[in-house]
Amino acid sequence: MTAGADLPASPARPTVRVGAPTERRNPLSVDLDLMSTRDVLTVINEADRRVPAAVAAVLDEIATTVDLAVAALRGGHRVHYFGAGTSGRLGVLDAAELAPTFNSPRHWFCAHLAGGPDAMWRAVEDAEDDNGGGAVEAASCVRAGDLVVGLAASGRTPYVLGALAAARANGASTVLLCANPEAEAARSVDVFIGVDTGPEVVTGSTRMKAGTAQKLVLNTFSTAVMVRLGRVYSNLMIDMVATNAKLRGRMISILVEATGCSEDISQQALTKADGDLKTALVSLVSGAEIDAARAALARSADQVRGALALLAS
């Protein structure tokens, strides 16, 4: 008897042929492997130039998503990202960067990655096929009034679609961000952001243009949310957390830029405000004492322009 002859055959694993634009061959990169290094780089760079224009075409949809997020956060709710692979990792990255940049409460933006934390460092490919896994995770943490943003390059990732369906059933608003303007799931969400980045230079490698587009959209979206919530004054990050020497220096630079005061005066105001940049800023701009500036911020929901208006009236 041949060794292993009686062993049962391994069950066939499901196969899906994806028809998204990201899976089609790019005629401009045919024979990429035969090109010189410089030509390879040129092809990639020229393809990447298409991405900002593709993002510009969906700014209306991004604006609607920003307004939904602002309403959710002002109402005491949360924003969730659900994604797999590159898309999910970009969601984790965006959520992680908001607290140090804007001092936003960590519970405001929650990132969920198919396969869990380990999937940040290694591919857990089958996890994205788990429709039920996404649904269970969303059902356990998404509440009515939340905003859920699904991240899926193809627009069909089961984990993401399962999460969106469960979130909508729980009363959350839903958004799908993908690189497939033809995605069928567009009809199942409140806002559909289909960025037309076209075929990848390396066929199916959505870490390239599709990933770049998602990074641009997420940067645009979350930054605009923070601006609308008053965590930026003019174009200065006034809610930043100074966790190192560079950022402590940036606080002084921000005060100098915003007020026209010298570095010494800015440092003195920041010291009197116990390191609170907003309080120091309001004090210097308005001429009010530190205690009055702090009280005005408290009365205006921590909004600099609101506090300045109170002190000017």
- Give one DSSP letter per residue of 18-65, joined into a string: --SGGGS--GGGTTGGGS-HHHHHHHHHHHHTHHHHHHHTTHHHHHHH
Owner of token pair 């760079």: 45
The whole-number pLDDT of residue 313 equals: 85
**How far is Cα 63 from Cα 48, in angstroms, rounded to an integer?**
23
Nearest to 80 by CA among 193, 18, 164, 186: 164
Residue 70 contacts residue 145 (beta carbons within 8 Å): no
Nearest to 103 by CA among 254, 246, 261, 230: 230
Q: Based on the residue annotation, tell me whether 97 is a catalytic residue of this protein.
A: yes
Residue 170 contacts residue 39 (beta carbons within 8 Å): no
**How far is Cα 184 from Cα 311, in angstroms, rounded to an integer?**
53
Nearest to 152 by CA among 191, 194, 118: 194
Q: Which residues contact 94 (CB under 8 A, 6 or more apart)?
A: 81, 109, 111, 215, 218, 219, 222
The whole-number pLDDT of residue 296 equals: 97
**How far is Cα 107 from Cα 37, in angstroms, rounded to an integer?**
45
Nearest to 153 by CA among 51, 236, 232: 51
Enter the pTM of the model.
0.88
| Residue 193 burial (10 A CB sphere; 0-12, 13-18, 19+) | buried
Structure tokens at 293: 């500036």
Q: Among 23, 128, 263, 289, which one carries the catalytic annotation?
A: 128
Q: Among 61, 97, 125, 137, which one carries the catalytic annotation?
A: 97
The whole-number pLDDT of residue 1 equals: 44
In this prediction, the residues of the chain whose per-residue pLDDT falls under 50 are: 1-4
* Contacts of 25-34 spanning 24+ positions with Cβ under 8 A: 25/199, 25/203, 26/198, 26/199, 26/200, 26/201, 26/203, 28/201, 29/201, 29/202, 32/201, 32/202
Residue 242 contacts residue 217 (beta carbons within 8 Å): no
The Cα-based distances of 58 to 13, 25, 114, 206, 220 in angstroms read 37, 24, 26, 19, 11
> How many helices and strands, by DSSP H and E, does the chain display?
12, 5
